[in-house]
A and B are shown apart, each in its own frame.
Chain A
């Protein structure tokens, strides 16, 4: 009998441990998901501590043209921004390719390509499974020659917009146009060309975004935990009678197996969730942006 009490205690401890263990695991999983939803940058592309203040947060709108520069007069008027935005939105809806124009004042001390890649990945341009985004980053401040432009192409579009093509767009279209002050015209033409290039690759509809269900795991586990605790309680209070014993046995085997099954499945669920992408925390879906990545491809120039 003593031995039995000890084994029961052990099992209880194991269950407690499992609860603890599962809890800690869900927090391990849930944490990146939360961060992902909040800012997206930490889990995706860069070391958190370095990037958190340097990369501008994605404005909470579905626009595709942002002027975060305080330069006055602004590079693009409100009307010009809307016109470009309309065109890019339409293209994004038709093809799921996202071309985004961003004007900033600072590169946070980074090279323009590095900065643009980090913005790209933290904002998640393009769809997650296609990485079909393009970021046109413009830094109009600083003296002549120090004003930078960079076209950053997502992994998925590298084949249709190779670096050389991006470079040509910059050298032959954007830089000459910008030098004359024809910012809108240059960007309008450049985005039209990028659209034509990109359309060769992806024309599908925007997919539904996956939702995280990690909370389900604990809910699934609770009945079994309670059943087990109840079982132990009965043992302690000594209500065990011979007639009941067979009943207990039956229950014991019938709950341990489902427990194993549920836990196994939830484990599988979690790990399969994590295997879907190369990144260790792909929980998909933030606003209008799909979580596409860039490997730093594209080209830059200055004017």
Chain B
């Protein structure tokens, strides 16, 4: 009896110690994961905000530039695609992330083409409702830029953390994977190309 208790205790201690050792890292991974999650929902938020502005914008533009049907249609379609695609962070792999990015890129592209078309309608540009929408749209684009950067940053922190020792072991055991980044969006910086077909 007396001889057995210490070894039992030691085994228990070893187990406890191992649990403690790993739980700290595990908890930190969870915390960082949650951080990325929060940032991702912010990203979705601002994209949703943009999508919400579009019906109003389309309606306003229609009143002045009804024969720009194609451009308007492209915007509506791009919006429909963008709002249909819901990406949970849990399922956020390279593939779905790339798709999300692609869809939003199309949205940006069609919007900037619309804005270019609008240049030809001075009445529309003077419309108070349109000006308000334009300001809101600008603000939303700024927020998108910002939230994307914040997301990338938290992903960078997370990715770095889970690849270090001993977190890489824990990450492998519990299936924490590297998360994808947003790539720089060229279309946002460049002026949209207009095709004459």
Do A and B actually bind?
yes
Chain B residues 15-64 with CB under 8 Å of chain A are: 16-18, 20-21, 23-25, 27-28, 31-32, 34-35, 38-39, 42, 46
The verdict on B94 contacting chain A, using a C-beta distance below 8 Å, is no
Question: B142 touches which one: A114, A264, A278 (CB < 8 A)?
Answer: A114
**In the complex, are the beta carbons of A274 and B143 less than 8 A apart?**
no
A143 to chain B, nearest CB (A): 21
A140 to chain B, nearest CB (A): 21
Residue of A nearest to B31 (CB): A274
**In the complex, are the beta carbons of A295 and B166 less than 8 A apart?**
no
Give the CA-CA distance A253 to B6 in the complex, in Å.
9
**In the complex, are the beta carbons of A25 and B24 less than 8 A apart?**
yes
> Which stretch from B67-75, B84-92, B130-138 is at the chain A interface?
B130-138
**In the complex, are the beta carbons of A267 and B23 less than 8 A apart?**
yes
**In the complex, are the beta carbons of A278 and B143 less than 8 A apart?**
no
**In the complex, are the beta carbons of B14 and A7 less than 8 A apart?**
yes
Give the CA-CA distance A117 to B144 in the complex, in Å.
12
**In the complex, are the beta carbons of A280 and B135 less than 8 A apart?**
no
Assuming A7-B7, A14-B18, A18-B20, is B152 touching A47 (CB within 8 A)?
yes
The verdict on B104 contacting chain A, using a C-beta distance below 8 Å, is no
Residue of B nearest to A228 (CB): B13
The verdict on B65 contacting chain A, using a C-beta distance below 8 Å, is no
**In the complex, are the beta carbons of A299 and B135 less than 8 A apart?**
yes
Assuming A47-B153, A297-B142, is B10 touching A280 (CB within 8 A)?
no
Give the CA-CA distance A245 to B46 in the complex, in Å.
66
**In the complex, are the beta carbons of A21 and B142 less than 8 A apart?**
no
Chain B positions within 8 Å of A212 at CB level: none
**In the complex, are the beta carbons of B13 and A47 less than 8 A apart?**
no
The verdict on A220 contacting chain B, using a C-beta distance below 8 Å, is no
The verdict on A213 contacting chain B, using a C-beta distance below 8 Å, is no
The verdict on A252 contacting chain B, using a C-beta distance below 8 Å, is yes
The verdict on A83 contacting chain B, using a C-beta distance below 8 Å, is no
B171 to chain A, nearest CB (A): 15
Assuming A46-B153, A299-B135, is B145 touching A7 (CB within 8 A)?
no
A1-27 CB mask vs B (1 if < 8 Å, else 0) is 001100110110011011001100100
Chain B positions within 8 Å of A260 at CB level: 16, 20
The verdict on A263 contacting chain B, using a C-beta distance below 8 Å, is yes
DSSP majority for the B interface?
Answer: helix
The verdict on B126 contacting chain A, using a C-beta distance below 8 Å, is no
Chain A residues 141-186 with CB under 8 Å of chain B are: 163-164, 167
The verdict on B149 contacting chain A, using a C-beta distance below 8 Å, is yes
The verdict on A34 contacting chain B, using a C-beta distance below 8 Å, is no
**In the complex, are the beta carbons of A21 and B2 less than 8 A apart?**
no
Chain A positions within 8 Å of B13 at CB level: 11, 252, 256
A90 to chain B, nearest CB (A): 29
The verdict on A249 contacting chain B, using a C-beta distance below 8 Å, is yes
Chain B positions within 8 Å of A46 at CB level: 149, 153
Residue of B nearest to A294 (CB): B146
Give the CA-CA distance A297 to B42 in the complex, in Å.
13
Chain A positions within 8 Å of B32 at CB level: 280
Chain A positions within 8 Å of B16 at CB level: 256, 260
B23 to chain A, nearest CB (A): 7
Q: Which of A14, A252, A295, A298 has the most CB of B within 10 A?
A: A295
The verdict on B173 contacting chain A, using a C-beta distance below 8 Å, is no
**In the complex, are the beta carbons of B21 and A18 less than 8 A apart?**
yes
The verdict on B157 contacting chain A, using a C-beta distance below 8 Å, is yes
**In the complex, are the beta carbons of B139 and A253 less than 8 A apart?**
no
**Other CB < 8 Å A-B pairs besides A10-B14, A11-B13, A248-B6, 7 of them?**
A7-B14, A21-B166, A46-B153, A47-B156, A163-B138, A297-B142, A299-B138
26 contacts between A and B (CB under 8 A): A3-B7, A11-B14, A14-B14, A18-B20, A18-B21, A22-B24, A25-B24, A25-B28, A46-B153, A111-B145, A114-B145, A163-B136, A163-B138, A164-B136, A263-B20, A267-B20, A271-B28, A278-B35, A279-B35, A280-B31, A280-B35, A295-B46, A296-B147, A297-B142, A298-B142, A299-B139
